Amino acid sequence: MKNTLTKYINTSTNAAPLAVFRIGFGLMMLYSIIRFWAKGWIETVYIQPKFHFKYYGFEWVKVWGDYTYGLFFISAVAAFCVALGFKYRIAIITFFLSFTYIELMEKTTYLNHYYFISILSFLLIFLPAEKRFSIDAYRSKKEYKKIPKWTIDSIKLLLFIVYFYAGLAKLNSDWLLRAMPLKIWLPSKYDLPLIGDALMHQNWFHYAMSWGGLFYDLFIPFLLIYRKTRAFAFVLVIVFHLFTRILFPIGMFPYVMIVSALIFFDAKIHLKIIKWIKFIIKMASIKTEVILVRNTYQYKRRKIILPIITIFFVLQLIVPFRYLLYPNELFWTEEGYRFSWRVMLMEKMGHTNFKIVDSDTKAFFYVKNEDFLTPFQEKQMSFQPDFILEYAHFLGDHFKQQGHKNVEVYAKSYVALNGRLSQPFINETVNLYAEKESFQPKNWILAFNDDIKGL
């Protein structure tokens, strides 16, 4: 056992796939940031709101006002440097920190694929992605042909977890037996050309898509790993992600996944890609100097890095299952829902109003959410308990500061999940201003009046 492990760790492989991955990742991140900027979202998501929702434990992360643009700029430059392989280690650390900081500034925008980018960039800090075909290599006049095999495998493992866990999360009765939420989402795509009228309202199509999506997520990592099915699997990856791109507003995620899946291929393809890029560079008549080619890159601090990577992956495997520690329906309370590759699993909407009560006189009034929240924030707040609690505290503080006495904050909340009738969500008799955020189960969430079976 120990022997096989040492042997595995010492196995080396061609460095080209990781170099191509670095370039693809860097360029896509650069484009993502430009896109986010161009759509004006830095303004509407980060700068305009008066109040920001924070992740538990990261309340200290602040939006930088107009300097937020600077933060995005730093992140974009870092992404470009990663692509170039220029000062790679500093660039990828900068990218990881700036991108993660951006995500931590506002919980409203949480997306699984932003989380994926954060942890992937963390992983990349420890990988020798600049050892081949990079400015760093040319500057140091040293290029490595081979790198340890586990470095590339670690990216494959991460992708494996993303897909496979997304598949496991679909093993529930709403997804499989009720075709929810696709049964709600697909009919609303009736205006798509060709397939809109013909398919989107068909009951069988909702089920076919649900089950197809499940099998795709569960099996695609295996099909990508196995050499004989790899090309077929890659075509599936393209078809699947482009199809989801047509159906749903999921931004850059499909492209990120398609490009990432290239890592599963043998070096042959990557060497070809490098050749193309070199050709283009030559066309621009930039000289690439002849450099010293070494054989295998060896880690200098392997004793520190390997344990870090191991802990990282153990956490990745465990964290999505933390929901088992909570007694109530996961989809309802969302305790342990995020950071678990639960992608497009729920159609959940809510309506939540807050009542400010003077505990002495019992006089009360309702808050107009639009006075404090953007429509996007209000939408996300209305069905997520941690948002509701955080906002209740913000309101309590706000009205206390305004001179209101004996402030208590109550929520009147209704939530509808996957096409069920909406039902009361938060216990109206609990003063949320007196409740504290923690990892404990939130006992002021009312029970879900239905049963969703499965993982």
Pairing of strands 12-14, 364-366: unpaired
Interface residue with another protein among 86, 376, 431, 437 (CB under 8 A) is: 376
Q: Where are the alpha helices (DSSP H) in 170-202?
A: 173-177, 182-185, 195-199
At its nearest, how many Å lie between another protein and the CB of residue 394? 18
Q: d(Cα 410, Cα 137) in Å, to the nearest integer?
A: 60
In eight-state DSSP terms, residue 191 is T
Nearer to another protein, 111 or 274 (CB): 111
Single out the residue of 303, 421, 429, 451 in contact with another protein (rule: CB under 8 A): 421
Q: Which residue from 12, 296, 422, 431 is in contact with another protein, where contact means CB under 8 A?
A: 422
Report the nearest approach of another protein to the CB of residue 351 (Å).
5
* Selected range binding another protein among 7-15, 136-144, 186-194, 301-309, rule: CB under 8 A: 186-194
The set of residues, in sequence order, having a beta carbon less than 8 Å from that of 93 and lying 6+ positions away, is 125
Residue 331, interface with another protein (CB under 8 A)?
Answer: no
Angle at 15 between CA 12 and CA 19, to 5 degrees: 150
Alpha carbon distance 180, 190 (integer Å): 17
Distance CA 297, CA 443 (A): 54
Using CA atoms, how far apart are residues 328 and 414, in angstroms rounded to an integer?
Answer: 17
Task: Say how many C-beta atoms besides its own lie within 10 A of residue 305's C-beta.
Answer: 15
Is residue 44 involved in binding another protein (CB under 8 A)? yes
The residue type found at 7 is K
Give the nearest distance from C-beta 85 to another protein in angstroms: 28
Which one of 69, 150, 265, 414 is in contact with another protein (CB under 8 A)? 414
Instruction: Centre a 10 Å sphere on the Cβ of residue 15 and count the other Cβ atoms it contains.
Output: 27
Q: Which of 27, 61, 187, 431 binds another protein (CB under 8 A)?
A: 187
CB 172 within 8 A of CB 453: yes
Contact call for residue 49 and another protein (CB under 8 A): no
113 binding another protein? (CB under 8 A): yes
* Residue list 20-39, contact with another protein (CB under 8 A): 39
For residue 158, the minimal CB distance to another protein (Å) is 17
Closest CA relative to residue 232, chosen from 248, 247, 243, 216: 216
* Binding of residue 284 to another protein (CB under 8 A): no
Please answer whether residues 88 and 130 qualify as being in contact, where contact means their C-beta atoms are separated by less than 8 angstroms. Answer: yes
Report the nearest approach of another protein to the CB of residue 256 (Å).
Answer: 11
Distance CA 451, CA 335 (A): 16
Distance linking the first and last C-alpha atoms of the chain: 32
Instruction: Tell me, by CB under 8 A, how many residues bind another protein.
Output: 60
Q: Does 239 bind another protein (CB under 8 A)?
A: yes
Q: Are 99 and 4 in contact (CB under 8 A)?
A: no
Closer of 18 and 105 to another protein (Cβ)? 105
Query: Count H helices, E strands: the chain?
Result: 19, 7
Choices 15-23, 83-91, 303-311, 373-381 (CB under 8 A): range interacting with another protein? 373-381
Output the six-digit token pair for 436.
């504290």
Nearer CB in complex with another protein: 84/452: 452
Would you say 455 and 214 are in contact if contact means Cβ atoms under 8 Å apart? no
Query: For residues 209-228, which are near another protein according to CB under 8 A?
Result: 212
Site for another protein contains 353 (CB under 8 A): yes
**How is residue 445 annotated by DSSP?**
B
Binding of another protein by 368 (CB under 8 A): yes
> Can you tell me which of 3, 4, 203, 429 binds another protein, judged by CB under 8 A?
203
Query: Restricting to residues 91-110, which ones interact with another protein according to CB under 8 A?
Result: 109
Instruction: Rule CB under 8 A: choose which of 142, 156, 189, 393 binds another protein.
Output: 189
Query: What's the CA gap between 71 and 63, in Å, rounded?
Result: 10
Task: Rule CB under 8 A: choose which of 47, 97, 157, 250 binds another protein.
Answer: 250
CB contact at 8 A, 176 and 213: no
Is residue 349 a contact residue for another protein (CB under 8 A)? Answer: yes
x-or-dash string of contact with another protein, 162-181, rule CB under 8 A? --------------------
Task: List residues near another protein by CB under 8 A.
Answer: 39, 41, 44-45, 109, 111-113, 184-185, 187-191, 197-198, 200-205, 207-208, 212, 231-232, 234-236, 239, 248-253, 343-344, 347, 349-351, 353, 363, 365-368, 375-376, 379, 412, 414-416, 419, 421-422
